[in-house]
Structure formats: structure tokens, C-alpha cells
Homo-oligomer: A and B are copies of this chain.
């Protein structure tokens, strides 16, 4: 029996014993916390016991474990439904801080992030910087030991409850756009920060606009080098992409929807349209889009498990955009005149109409389909980039709006 195996077994025993002692399954509360965790007391114990980020160094709440060993811990937590493990892979905020914050700031912020003690939000997009994030015009001006922040951010979820926002702001206007951006952990609970809910096309408000007027952030909260924020953002975005699944929501009417590959067929049966040969062709096609995306993702995961990188992974968001728009179109067609309606008394119509609008969450949000096609074409197929006319010019000369 190898030493490794002995160690693994000891580790498994240790984590199981710890969980048996500390985890009360009935305590589980779920809910979107934007970084803040409902089981903070338990989470703090997880961090102190070094289960949260076992692949990190021992000096920083970790155990220097290999990923395969970390898996043992994650599996043990998953087996009893306990939260808090595997944050070395999943915690966007803590990973970003760990990688780029100053040692002093790390000491305070990282355990708070790992234990879910602070709420977080992302202050990236601006009205004038959507597809082109590097065009941010929110400014950070040095004053003594602080930076003074002014500007406007948008599409911020969780802003109202956040303690910190991960902010990109411009600190040098006389260099090309990518080279004058810095990355901050901005304290949100201060005057100078106004959060306004942003009403969406679906008549909901999951996002906010954030108006920032002379807000203050300590220079200690700067992540990475001054004017090196673009690089920090790239690693943060990479974490985000690897962590966040597709966030698109399904039907919202509350009425049960059929599940599985036959779901659309059941909806057609319910609508009395299943015998229509035209509908049947479309049922096959839209179902195929969904199944093919699942098969592609499974193949991508198998490739990655074998260590080969997969070109397919990046297609998922684009595929999902087509699935959502096409499913909405087909659901509308199944309903016919009934799709004119909405509201709780007309749940199928409510769902079809909601999905028709909410599909844009995926086809626009997080990079439009068009930007996504650029990225895939360039990074996966190796096609050359377009000429970028603003890449080398001082940002203050770049036309934007």
C-alpha cells in the first residue's frame, strides 16, 4: 500500500470525523447570497479547520494538497450536504483576492470571503463600456493614502447588499485603454455610493445601476499593480467563466413544466398540437439543439478529464442562446392566440413570453453572441483578430459612447 493511499485514507477519515462533529444537516439554508453565506458560523469553522481551500498553502488557510486529494474533502462534504469545501475552485472573490491583494489586505479580506462574512458585487460594466470593458470611464484619483472614485456602473447584481465591489476604474488617461485601468475592492457601505434597481425588459429587477460620487477606497485595497487592473480582471473573468454555469432561468409562471428530452413534446400534447407534422419537425429540431449541447458538454468534460483541452466548452453559451430563443419561439407557436396573454391565469403564455425576452439575458449578457463568436473564432479556431484601431492610442483620444 503506497504512502499516498495511506495518506488519502487518513484524510478521508479526518474530514468525515470533523463533519460528524460539526455539521448539522438540518441547519442547511440556501439562497443567493452574493458572497455572504447564511451559515456563517459553520463556514468560519470550515475555514479554521482548513477544509475550505485545501490546495492553497498552509500559510494561507490551506493544506498544500494536490487536487486529487482535495476531491476527497469535497466528496465528503457533498456526501452530507455541507457547504464550504472546494472554494479553491469556486470562490471567485477569494481566489481573486488571494492572487492579487497585498499581504496585509489578504489577511483580513480572504478569511472573511471564505467564511461568507461579506457580501460582494462586480463593478465592471458601464453604460459606455459593455462589450468593450476596457473602455471604462469610471475614474480613480489618488488622494493621500486613498483613491477617490467617480463614475457609473451597471448590470450589478447584489449591489444593495454588498460590502465590497470588485471595481475596475481608470487611473491613467494618457496611455492606451488596457494600460490605465486598476482593480479595487471598493467598500460599498459609504455615502457616495447610490444603488438603483434596474428594471429589466422582463419587468423584474435583478440588477442595479451604481452611481459613484467621490467614494473613497484605501490604496491598500488595490489588487495587482497600479494600472495593471486589466490583467487582474482577466483572471477574475476566467474564474467567473469556469465557475458560473449558465445562469439563464427557466419558466417563471410557477406552473410545473415537463422535464427531460420529451418536455417539449409534452407541452405540444398539452396544447393539442402534437399531431401537427410541422410542429413535430420543430419539436425534433429544438429538442436536438438541447440534446446536442448536452452531448457536446459531456464530450468536453471527458476531454478535459483526459487532460486534453476542449474546444467545445466555449461553444456552450452560444449554443444555449440558440436553444433559449428557439424554445421560446416554438412555445409561442404551440400556443397560437393564447400567447397573446400573460399573468398567473395564463401560465404557459406567461412562460413563453418571459422566455422570449429572457433569452436575451444569455444572448447579450456576459458578452453578446457576436462577441462570443469573435472569441471562439480567435481562440479556438485561431483566426486572426480584426485591426483594433484604439489599441495603441491614449485613452483620452478614443471615441466612445
Contact = CB atoms under 8 A, between A and B. Distances in A.
Interface of A: 276-278, 281, 386-387, 389
Q: Which 4 A-B pairs have the closest CB atoms?
A: A277-B277, A387-B389, A277-B278, A387-B387
Contacts of A278: 277-278, 281
Count of chain copies: 2
A383 to B, nearest CB: 15
Given A277-B278, A386-B386, 6 more contacts: A276-B277, A277-B277, A278-B278, A278-B281, A387-B387, A387-B389
Contacts of A277: 276-278
Contacts of A276: 277
A284 B386 CA distance: 40
A373 to B, nearest CB: 14
8 contacts: A276-B277, A277-B277, A277-B278, A278-B278, A278-B281, A386-B386, A387-B387, A387-B389
Contacts of A389: 387
A389 B277 CA distance: 52
Nearest to A388: B387
A278 B282 CA distance: 10
A384 to B, nearest CB: 11
A86 to B, nearest CB: 46
Nearest to A282: B278
A290 to B, nearest CB: 21
Nearest to A389: B387
A323 B257 CA distance: 39
A391 to B, nearest CB: 11
A76 to B, nearest CB: 54
A276 B276 CA distance: 11
Contacts of A386: 386
Contacts of A281: 278
Of A278, A386, A387, A389, the most chain B CB neighbours within 10 A belong to A278
A3 B276 CA distance: 70
A302 to B, nearest CB: 35
A387 B393 CA distance: 15
A278 B278 CA distance: 5
A387 to B, nearest CB: 5
